[in-house]
Structure 1
């Protein structure tokens, strides 16, 4: 893995070819304000973010819809206690609300600008390092949405533009208006569908790849296997974590667990190491509300895998054997996936 410099032992890499440099491992802040578990207090959330920074993580990911709004406020409080110039802050716009049966999405230029101004205020910053369109609004030409983002870059309010869950056609069209620095997609051992089209396209265009849910929404960290899924968790409605599907998927976890013993690491570290070895342009953003898990995730950077190891791990957790769809059936189809995806 080619390193671009280090912070507290964590490699720094170029995320895409537009100049954005980040820690090789990021931190997803969404879980701090609920979704997978009960939200943590501001004190706990701030301490986790600060600990992540002190261990070398400088790339933090949030969104205006998490909470909603409360996640950005929490991250903003943590940033006040950290050196802003050493942080790469990513946030998102585009999801207006999470209704019972669908996502409400807005990509109109005036909405883009309003969201940016509001996020800057909640975060207490003068600029956003990486600003993603969280989900693509199919009723608005992508050129119009990116055109407004381009203006925000020119005004210094945004440094780099990103897309989340975008199709190959959308990525190409957006990139033609203004260079896209990064694309955020779900990618893990049991969600591999971006490998055929999205990953090659990003590499063709020089776009960085940010995998969310790199531990399979916690499954490869033991969620649903060594520990139960909380009844109030968003995951309780996910098919892969339910009934017979979960029992079948436990077999995949057992295989990974056996391989982890071979590599002298935990299953979650091996799953993260597998993602980290997919390329220098790949920066996963696992989230957690536990310091122990945070340190465990950082430890994945020390796990070294050969090409043969990567093939063995891929075969052990074969995507065709995964039981259950990834979605919970509550959201309409988005721009990229045929099946609906969790919000991240």
Structure 2
């Protein structure tokens, strides 16, 4: 019997997924639904998902990580040559071979799927095509098909700043996750097309988003808003890869004033690497080394700035346009 399958286009790379039933890849469809390809094609990276009553939780290899993963709980990572195993005891296991372009996800019957393995598989698929996902927002300039990347640790205000810029004519690619490719010698980026989580404080600072919001907030004071709904009030860009015009490191202004100042490339690389490159008990895994090389390629190719945002984030729009134009 043929297993249900789906294919997604990741800007030149095809991710193919097969499973016993389509519900098992709903996390991927939630992230990548707009990138789904109607007709099945030969994938560059393939994922097979299976439900099982027994999980092999003791694969061979070296322990890389053993601890708690936010939202998903206890987790172990084991590296065995070219294969990385991610184990969530009693729930699910994923084995990834990036060099050969495949992954196998085993889910314990009747358990809730963890989110982390889906992201790790997506990372591996992108890496196989020379692309890397970075924790940055991305917006197109008002009069150019070029992207500015905005980096900051979670909670600093990327979403608020991104939406404020979007109300001033910038186009939203992503408020949180951008995919970079520096392999061709040109630095290009595209946004992961997933819903934007808007915090109550963001809604208070940017009242233009009110028509997109419902009445229910989660325990973190947030609610997800689809890109389709946001598209009614701002310009939402498609997932095409675009040249990167600048990298901005976001910081909170100490005096309430918004300013844009030059930032040393070494400082920009350190701040971006700290937030995006993970080390384990055995040091950097090969994929993390390649991610670090992508970051180095980015900061060496584009101007880098620190964007200090004050009480009125929208003020940053004129500063960015004036500097980059």
TM-score (norm 1): 0.24
- Of Structure 1 and Structure 2, the greater strand share is in 2
Higher helix share: 1
Taking structure 2 as the reference length, what is the TM-score of the superposition?
A: 0.25
